[in-house]
Structure 1
Amino acid sequence: MTNFVESLRWRKMLHDIMPETEDKLAEGMKSGYIGFDPTADSLHVGHLVQIMTLIHFQAAGHKPFALVGGATGMVGDPSGKSAERNLLDSDALNHNVACIKKQLSKFLHFSDEGNGAVLVNNADWFKNMSFLDFIRDVGKHITVNYMMAKDSVKKRLEGDAGLSFTEFSYQLIQGYDFFHLWKEHNCIIQMGGSDQWGNIVTGTELIRRKASGQAYALTTQLIKKSDGTKFGKTESGAVWLDPEKTSPYKFYQFWLNSSDEDVKSWIRIFTLKTEQEILDLEVKHDEAPHLRILQKALAEDLTERVHSKEALEIALKTSDFLFGNSGLEFLNTLSENQIMEIFEGVPQFNISKEQLSNCADVVSLLAEDTSVFPSKGEAKKMIQAGAVSINRTKVNSISDKIGAENLINKQYLIVQRGKKNYFLIIVK
């Protein structure tokens, strides 16, 4: 059994902690929770810090509660937001909640016994509560002065967008979540990102004022990239945990492309490796930075835990294919969707089987039936220079003919112009 707070501390995850929290957790198994907002039907890498926090909480012998906000998702949290976001209808929220529950089950051990994790949905206790009941039983305990003193509220009031009553009330709703879980499940601590501190302590204050109880708070660092760009964002958008939204290969590449400065903190935050294991990896990395030992360790660890060992193997083989010298054998084991994911962003051309069979030679294929080359002259020049490959086999002659027997998965031709320029020809 490890010391939960000390584990967060050496991993440099800890941001704020309420006095006496560490001593209280040292007494033995305690229950605590983190909330996840169901604004989408998948979590993304930005949620991984909180997932890791719950993992460490459970590993330290405590009982984690994961709250999926089916009710709060209908309101919207103003923390860290510059404008009010669009609200989702109940059907969309229910779908998102179900998807997030499934994802969380991959990281935590869920059980009714011992310190098994528990999933809860705040819609279960809010759905039968009327507005009048809420303002009478909850609103009367927290003053407007107290609520307006919160940084998240101040920033929005100072901005041009203002703050709706809906979002202003969010901290009361989240505060009541804490009160409910404290009363019904003995959850004594709420955790979250540092931008959640105001909402969390509203909960501890509600517990104190409404029931003369004692509760605790802990927040983790918000992750930022050293180059100033937003963590978890790429040119194509957010990096999701759902393989249908972000393929395991792209997920792997996101972590593999970490800067040396970022990876030294991220490997502490996002993996379960021990302090000594990380220190050993750092020594090896510093001895040969070009081998990207830390980046590979981080990418492999996360891809396997978030997806699967099989998904990691495909990601590694895909990377080796695109950036190394591996053959095409593994492509024959992939589905159409997986192949299209690998070549997303690569120029693609669609031709018919009839076109392929009627094509006179490789030059016509690459310069007439497709636009791999702008002209036959350019195609001939590059082929004669030995700079063109199809399916990893160099094209030796301008009179070579490509037929159905050359297709990968009976459908694809992979053309390389030089070492790094890929093209995908899809034959249907």
Structure 2
Amino acid sequence: MSTYSSDLLRLLEKRGYIHQTTDAHALDALAAKEIVPGYIGFDATAPSLHVGSLVQIMMLRRLQQTGHKPIVVMGGGTTKIGDPSGKDESRKLLTGEDIEANITSIRRVFERVLDFNDGPTGAIMVNNDDWLSDLGYIELLRDVGPHFTVNRMLTFDSVRLRLDREQPLTFLEFNYMILQAYDFLELKRRHGCRLQMGGSDQWGNIVNGIELSRRMDGAELFGVTTPLLTTADGAKMGKTAAGAVWLNEDALPAYDFWQYWRNTDDRDVGRFLRLFTDLPLDEIARFESLEGSEINAAKEVLANEVTALVRGEEAAASAAATARDTFAGSGAGADLPVHVADAGPVPLTTVLNALGFVQSNGEAKRKIKEGAIRVDGEVVDDLALELSPSPGSDIRISLGKKKHGLLRG
């Protein structure tokens, strides 16, 4: 039985989003009586976010679903510095044009998941470069600097872990936590923001912002973090052997995105349905009770729901149809990855690399030796095999039971 009275914290608790909160009682009371604007910050270091960011995006969706106002903060300013949290080395600095292009690209996913409108709970997207770039260095040091001690800054994991590993931490990166704290202060002043949410690795940054706002403005602000999200086998969410699972269509085909969720470990199905879909909790409980091969039905529901939310209904339907065609045996669905053959025979190892099934020719050869590769349904063991599809025809390539692609003539 939930101890919370607000729809917001009850929903976050029941669906498994809450790891830590600052003054949960006061936040609960505030959320029960008025609209709470809340924000999460996202770096703009690439043209797409990946699945590791999806739980944060869903937190903003839950905020809006329970009658509050989501603020998406794109780190146009802080991306110029780089968040040292969880990083072993400094990141390459991007130009302002690169960052702006990334923000434009990233926005597409948020527009699917959140409702941007002019109403009191309409989502807004802001760029912290709008205020950070206008800060004078001396003014920042004078007004904000006295509220931070180097002693305390050195205790934060983002700093301490880098130093413990004897990895360089630039003075530029060291300032990141100050600027993120200042973001919360500025968002309170500009948009009445009262809540910051984020992953558990952001707890220190969130607390810094709350304390800075209290000291400078006497404001009462709040923070909520989510648990560190890993899969049942301990892997970091959103990372696979083939690379990151990107949210944007142009960074990862819809079928591969759908297949990532379809391949979810049995132990993760219920948790992921609660976090990443809007399905009712009683329906999710029914899916969790399934065993054996029946759990695959729940995985397909998960894949369909998440793909429809992030990529759209049409992309989800197309990916599901491709999966049905592919796993039916001889079918070759429209969404399978395709490598178009140049003139002449193509080495199988080259095809496996081009389809993204392996990362090197050495790995390709190992998979062939293991009997994991099929060509048109037949296991192959010839390391030097070359393929020559007829013009306009396809050769179906499979790695194990879950990866399929086409070599097209």
Check whether TM > 0.5. Answer: yes
Do the aligned partners of 2:40 and 2:56 also contact (CA within 8 Å) in 1? yes
Whether 2:120 is the aligned partner of 1:94: answer no
Do the aligned partners of 2:39 and 2:196 also contact (CA within 8 Å) in 1? yes
| Deviation beyond 4 Å, 4+ runs, structure 1 | 369-372, 419-425
Q: 1:277–1:426: structure 2 CA closer, same or farther, 3 Å change rule?
A: closer
What pairs up with 1:144-183 in 2 under 5 angstroms? 144-183=150-189
Give 3-state SS (helix, strand or coil) of 1:105's partner.
helix
Do the aligned partners of 2:196 and 2:223 also contact (CA within 8 Å) in 1? yes
- Choose which of 401, 411, 420 in structure 1 pairs with 2:392: 411
Give 3-state SS (helix, strand or coil) of 1:253's partner.
helix
Q: 1:56–1:351: structure 2 CA closer, same or farther, 3 Å change rule?
A: same
Whether 2:178 is the aligned partner of 1:196: answer no
- Per the TM alignment, residue 86 of structure 1 is displaced from its structure 2 partner at its CA by 1.7
The one-letter code matched in structure 2 to 1:75 is: I
- Per the TM alignment, residue 189 of structure 1 is displaced from its structure 2 partner at its CA by 0.8
Structure (1 or 2) with the larger CA radius of gyration: 1
Give 3-state SS (helix, strand or coil) of 1:14's partner.
coil
**Unmatched runs of 5 consecutive residues or more in structure 1:** 332-337, 353-368, 373-387, 393-405
Report the counterpart of residue 266 of structure 1 in structure 2.
272
Whether 2:408 is the aligned partner of 1:426: answer yes
Q: 1:130–1:317: structure 2 CA closer, same or farther, 3 Å change rule?
A: same
The TM-score, its normalising length taken from structure 2, stands at: 0.82
- Per the TM alignment, residue 23 of structure 1 is displaced from its structure 2 partner at its CA by 2.1
Report the counterpart of residue 378 of structure 1 in structure 2.
none
CA RMSD of aligned residues (A): 2.8
**Unmatched runs of 5 consecutive residues or more in structure 2:** 349-373, 378-388
Q: 1:389–1:225: structure 2 CA closer, same or farther, 3 Å change rule?
A: closer
Report the counterpart of residue 185 of structure 1 in structure 2.
191
The TM-score, its normalising length taken from structure 1, stands at: 0.79
Report the counterpart of residue 113 of structure 1 in structure 2.
119
Q: 1:39–1:389: structure 2 CA closer, same or farther, 3 Å change rule?
A: closer
Give 3-state SS (helix, strand or coil) of 1:67's partner.
strand
Q: Within 2, Cα distance between the matches of 1:309 and 1:94?
A: 28
- Per the TM alignment, residue 314 of structure 1 is displaced from its structure 2 partner at its CA by 1.7
Q: Within 1, Cα distance between the matches of 2:404 and 2:207?
A: 54
Report the counterpart of residue 5 of structure 1 in structure 2.
9
- Per the TM alignment, residue 291 of structure 1 is displaced from its structure 2 partner at its CA by 4.9
- Per the TM alignment, residue 416 of structure 1 is displaced from its structure 2 partner at its CA by 7.5
Give 3-state SS (helix, strand or coil) of 2:84's partner.
coil
Q: 1:291–1:268: structure 2 CA closer, same or farther, 3 Å change rule?
A: closer
Q: 1:423–1:132: structure 2 CA closer, same or farther, 3 Å change rule?
A: closer
Instruction: Quote the sequence identity (%).
Output: 38
Do the aligned partners of 2:375 and 2:397 also contact (CA within 8 Å) in 1? yes
Whether 2:28 is the aligned partner of 1:22: answer yes
Q: Within 2, Cα distance between the matches of 1:259 and 1:322?
A: 21
Q: Within 2, Cα distance between the matches of 1:232 and 1:169?
A: 28
Report the counterpart of residue 54 of structure 2 in structure 1.
48
What pairs up with 1:310-389 in 2 under 5 angstroms? 310-325=314-329, 327=331, 331=334, 341-343=336-338, 349-351=341-343
Q: Within 2, Cα distance between the matches of 1:97 and 1:111?
A: 19
- Per the TM alignment, residue 24 of structure 1 is displaced from its structure 2 partner at its CA by 2.0
- Per the TM alignment, residue 411 of structure 1 is displaced from its structure 2 partner at its CA by 2.2
Larger displacement relative to structure 2 (318-327 or 202-211)? 318-327
Q: 1:169–1:318: structure 2 CA closer, same or farther, 3 Å change rule?
A: same
Do the aligned partners of 2:52 and 2:237 also contact (CA within 8 Å) in 1? yes
Larger displacement relative to structure 2 (150-159 or 30-39)? 150-159
What pairs up with 1:61-140 in 2 under 5 angstroms? 61-140=67-146
Do the aligned partners of 1:109 and 1:117 also contact (CA within 8 Å) in 2? yes
Q: 1:164–1:317: structure 2 CA closer, same or farther, 3 Å change rule?
A: same
Q: Within 2, Cα distance between the matches of 1:317 and 1:26?
A: 43
Q: Within 2, Cα distance between the matches of 1:300 and 1:38?
A: 27
Report the counterpart of residue 305 of structure 2 in structure 1.
301
Do the aligned partners of 1:80 and 1:152 also contact (CA within 8 Å) in 2? yes
- Per the TM alignment, residue 224 of structure 1 is displaced from its structure 2 partner at its CA by 0.6
